[in-house]
Amino acid sequence: MTDPHPTPGRVVKAPENFLDAAGIRTVHGQAKAGRRDFIRSAFASAVAGAGAIAAAPAALAQGNPVPPEGGDPHILNLPAHSTGLGQGVATDGYGKPSKYEANVQRRQSPGLTQTQQSSVSFAPLQSLFGIVTPSGLHFERHHQGWWDVDPSKHRLMINGSDDKLVKQPKVFTLDELMRLPPVSRFHFIECGANTGMEWGNVAVPTCQYSHGMLSCSEFTGVPLKLLLDMAGADYKRGRFILAEGADGSSMTRTIPMEMVESGEVLVAYGQNGEMLRPENGYPLRLVVPGVQGVSWVKYLRRIEVGDMPYASKDEAVHYIDLMPSGLHRQYSSIQECKSVITTPSGGQVLLDKGFYTISGLAWSGRGKVRQVDVSVDGGRNWRPARLQGPVMDKCLTRFTLPWVWDGKPTLVQSRATDETGYVQPNYRQSRAVRGTRSIYHNNSIQTWMVQESGEVKNVQLS
């Protein structure tokens, strides 16, 4: 068998490397005889000796047994799609996912909010591949409902807190912004309250609800710096900007000028090759890489250059972190290094023992992910996972690790380290500093418990 995930020096090749010659002969002999139970037990003990993580031998593969009639009816009886004429081009001018994918939806967490308009829907992380979130599955957070804004009537204004901070207040149309030299970059966006329900205890069953206020897209737009230059911003006094939306809530957030000056803050209109979706701020939103989603102001209508932070509602009443001292941390914005395993994950079922690819997502608001370690014994021993690549700045990174499940209860965890050397903490370490009432910025290590039944549960260790 060819190992699809070569990680030299880390994964013990099977079966040659951990069975002796007699053992291999026995395995092959038994496989021919069709006695899988013996193989499975022989394999399990061999794995136990070699460490908990190993690639599976081909002989274990099953779960699609040959029916008594000698062949799979799905092979033997040709289906309609092999024997008939299919549909024509442009049947659907904007193609949709297969009807068989209809379970994969963004969803609300029951009881979390009382309204549809001031609420959140979570991305189905357990069903996604790679690092890009399909635009229609991108998580949503609206404060006062979403709108489908006519782009020909949308305007962006740049001005200053006083008449010296910007030489010339400016107005831009979409037509004009889209003539400027664009940049396209992949970045994650995570709500500051993602995993916030779990600060005190386990509250939700699946990674959709525990970590699904997280998405990643290729955003296309213009560096905000360019527009501030055109307006003549005073970068000496104007060390802050205020971003403001055009919707009912007219969301406002303060962003440090250092980030704008670095060129990474974008006024974006594009998302994954098309325009932003209305739920994500069509036709214009701010992209503030590494910073919590609330600062990525949607329906962006105005940027004000200022000489002090603004203490807007979403930085003075919400998105403030309560510490055990009774003080709230204000303007806490960076999403620190974090990871979550999406396969296997809570609320899912593994159908049988045997080979699986542990797979998950890691990210850091301070830069690139440097390493992800995976434990299958509740955090006692860890192995580096393979980073699938591309590994990009302030972007989701997919990691994988081959794993053979022996059918025993197993505690599965991932731990990410970013390029600054910051290591993702476990719950004990997080709570020792931040208590349990912060609501925001919970980047603790997630634990999933694979039960003997194959069902996976969300658990916290203490």
Phi, psi of 122 (to 5 degrees): -105, 140
Minimal CA–CA distance to 208: which of 102, 120, 125? 125
Nearest residue (CB) to another protein, 23 versus 248: 248
CB neighbour list of residue 274: distance below 8 Å, 6 or more residues apart: 135
Amino acid at the residue 196? G
Q: Which is nearer to another protein, 31 or 203 (CB)?
A: 203
Q: Which CB sits closer to another protein, 19 or 206? A: 206
Tell me the closest approach of the beta carbon of residue 23 to another protein, in angstroms. 26
User: Nearer Cβ to another protein, position 19 or 172?
Assistant: 172
- Give me the DSSP letters along 22-91: HHHHHHHHHHHHT-HHHHHHHHHHHHHHH-S-BPPPGGG--SSPPPTTSS-HHHHS--HHHHS--PPTTS
Query: Distances in Å between the alpha carbon of 284 and those of 134, 296, 314?
Result: 18, 10, 20
Please give the full DSSP string across 370-391, using - where no structure is assigned. Answer: EEEEEESBTTSS-EEPEE-S--
CB of 141 to another protein, least distance (A): 15
The distance of closest approach from Cβ of residue 73 to another protein in the complex, given in angstroms and rounded to an integer, is 16
Find the shortest distance in angstroms from Cβ 103 to another protein.
5
Cis bond upstream, residue 309 (ω within 30): no
Q: How far is the CB of 129 from another protein (least distance, A)?
A: 10
Kindly tell me which of 19 and 412 has the beta carbon lying closer to another protein: 412
Measured from the CB atom, is 19 or 401 closer to another protein?
Answer: 401
Phi and psi at residue 60, to the nearest 5°: -75, -25
Q: Given the complex with another protein, which of 131 and 231 has the nearer CB atom? A: 231
Nearer to another protein (CB atom), residue 27 or residue 125: 125
Give which of 18, 50, 16 is closest to 381, Cα–Cα. Answer: 50
Nearest-approach distance from CB 99 to another protein, in angstroms: 7
Residue 253: CB partners within 8 Å, gap ≥ 6?
242, 243, 294, 295, 297, 310, 312, 314, 315
CB of 258 to another protein, least distance (A): 4
For another protein, give the closer residue by CB, 19 or 204: 204
Asked whether the beta carbons of 335 and 190 are under 8 A apart, the reply is yes
Cis peptide before 181 (omega within 30 of 0): no
Please, what is the minimum distance in Å from the beta carbon of residue 426 to another protein? 8
Rank residues 26 and 108 by Cβ distance to another protein and give the closer one. 108
At residue 11, what are phi and psi to the nearest 5 degrees? Answer: -110, 130
Q: Which residues contact 141 (CB under 8 A, 6 or more apart)?
A: 119, 120, 191, 213, 293, 294
Rounded to a whole number of angstroms, the minimum distance from the CB of residue 369 to another protein is 13
User: Are β-strands 155-160 and 300-306 bridged in parallel, bridged antiparallel, or unpaired?
Assistant: parallel
Query: Residue 19 or 139: which CB sits closer to another protein?
Result: 139
Q: How far is the CB of 183 from another protein (least distance, A)?
A: 15
Least distance to another protein from the beta carbon of 46, Å?
Answer: 21
CB of 439 closer than 8 Å to CB of 199:
yes
Q: How far is the CB of 2 from another protein (least distance, A)?
A: 18
User: By C-beta, is 30 or 436 nearer to another protein?
Assistant: 436
Contact 346, 210 (CB under 8 A): yes
- Residues 6+ positions from 69 with CB-CB distance below 8 Å: none
Which residue's structure tokens are 């549809």?
Answer: 116
CA dihedral sign, ordered 99, 101, 105, 111: positive
